[in-house]
Amino acid sequence: MRLDREWITAHIPHQGRMCLLDEVVSWSATEIRCRSGSHRATDNPLRAHGRLGAACGIEYAVQAMAIHGALRSMQLQVAVRTGLLASVRSLTMNVDRLDDIEGDIFASAAHVHNDAAMTLYEFNVSDATRALLVGRATIAFGPTPTGWPAGGMQP
């Protein structure tokens, strides 16, 4: 099964242009790596003042985490739990912006820890040769909002 943009939008709440990732390159029980070219799009919904700032890479990473949660839920045959970004820590941004990156970017996330209320991931957004930003994100769990498609986070 190809895990492309169509599959992704069927499994996470991010829809339309707000779904930033194009495909899952690889994944395991603890890690995921996704590819995207949407950072170059002039209609990227995160662009502001004619540019896509590096901090927007956090959203790319969080969407990779949501996809990982959906995949893990399917693998474990458990209900998907909706998660919300609660915090970002140890963030290092090695570039000022993403829209001037010529090639595709890759959002990777590695599961570190979880409990009933949250899960913690380390993340990396990179291009073909370097890390653009790295950090850690905490995802807090809550009830699934009405109207969202199946998808979200799973510890």
Residue-wise pLDDT for 2-18, tens only, equals 899 999 999 998 899 99
In tens, the pLDDT along 82-141 reads 889 999 999 999 999 999 999 999 999 999 998 888 999 999 999 999 999 999 999 998
Residue 144: per-residue pLDDT: 47
pTM of the entire structure?
0.89
Q: Indicate the helix (H) or strand (E) that contains 2.
A: none
Q: 73 pairs with which residues across the strands?
A: none
Q: Where are the beta strands (DSSP E) in 28-130?
A: 31-36, 82-93, 105-114, 118-126
